[in-house]
Amino acid sequence: MLGAIGRAPRHLFVDEALQERAYEDRPLPIGHGQTISHPSTVALMTEALEIDRTSRVLEVGTGSGYQSAVLAGLCANVYSIERIAPLAARARRLLDELGHYNVAIQVGDGTIGWKAEAPFDAVVVTAAGPRPPAPLFAQLRAGGRLVVPLGDEQSQALVRYRLTGDGDVEEEILGDCRFVKLVGRYGFSH
């Protein structure tokens, strides 16, 4: 997993003026009021997904495409949804340049998921919502994991849900975190 972090050239995913700071372990602005996560946060979330070469992964919040690039190197297919069209377009261009053709990107509200490509082995939400979006559970296969930051601007926790074989959901708190807002039908309203 650390290999995939090492191979993703983070400097390409931030604005040119910030490129020399791209390898500091801190979030950086990517435009439109959004940020690229800490590399350590990307590592934690990626590990929490428990994916392998055969996994199909849904990402909500493409942003710069950095986390998508890390996931692309570790699993079979990444389906990523971004609500801000210019961010999705820039991520698409970069991922193509890097040869990550196993990443599909859609512009829209990721809180409703990507029904046509479900079920997923794992779902990662890279923006913080008030509660886990219900449609994302419905799009997980049995045994699947949903990793999502929950909370408001003051305090957030990274949470992992696991769908058990008999349809129950297990919840684990993985730690404190800080993300931009998840805005959508099953997120915040603005």
Return d(Cα 105, Cα 48) in angstroms, integer: 22
Query: Which listed range, 79-87, 94-102, 134-142, 158-166, lies at the site for ligand SAH (CB under 6 A)?
Result: 79-87
39 sits near ligand SAH (criterion: CB under 6 A): no
Question: Cβ distance 69 to 93 under 8 Å?
Answer: no
Question: Cβ distance 137 to 169 under 8 Å?
Answer: yes
Question: Cβ distance 156 to 178 under 8 Å?
Answer: yes
150 sits near ligand SAH (criterion: CB under 6 A): no
73 sits near ligand SAH (criterion: CB under 6 A): no
Return d(Cα 58, Cα 56) in angstroms, integer: 7
Query: Which listed range, 17-25, 82-90, 159-167, 169-177, lies at the site for ligand SAH (CB under 6 A)?
Result: 82-90
144 sits near ligand SAH (criterion: CB under 6 A): no
128 sits near ligand SAH (criterion: CB under 6 A): no
Tell the residue number behind the tokens 């008030």, with chain if given.
Answer: 130
Q: Report the nearest approach of ligand SAH to the CB of residue 42 (Å).
A: 6
Please indicate whether residue 189 is annotated as part of the active site. Answer: no
Query: Which listed range, 33-41, 113-121, 138-146, 156-164, lies at the site for ligand SAH (CB under 6 A)?
Result: 33-41
36 sits near ligand SAH (criterion: CB under 6 A): yes
Measured between alpha carbons, how far is residue 164 from residues 42, 49, 99, 107 in Å?
Answer: 25, 15, 35, 30
Return d(Cα 37, Cα 63) in angstroms, integer: 9
- Closest residue (Cβ) to ligand SAH? 63
Question: Cβ distance 71 to 37 under 8 Å?
Answer: no
Return residues touching ligand SAH (CB under 6 A): 30, 34-37, 60-61, 63-64, 66-67, 81-84, 87, 109-111, 126-127, 180, 182-184, 187
Residues noted as catalytic? 37
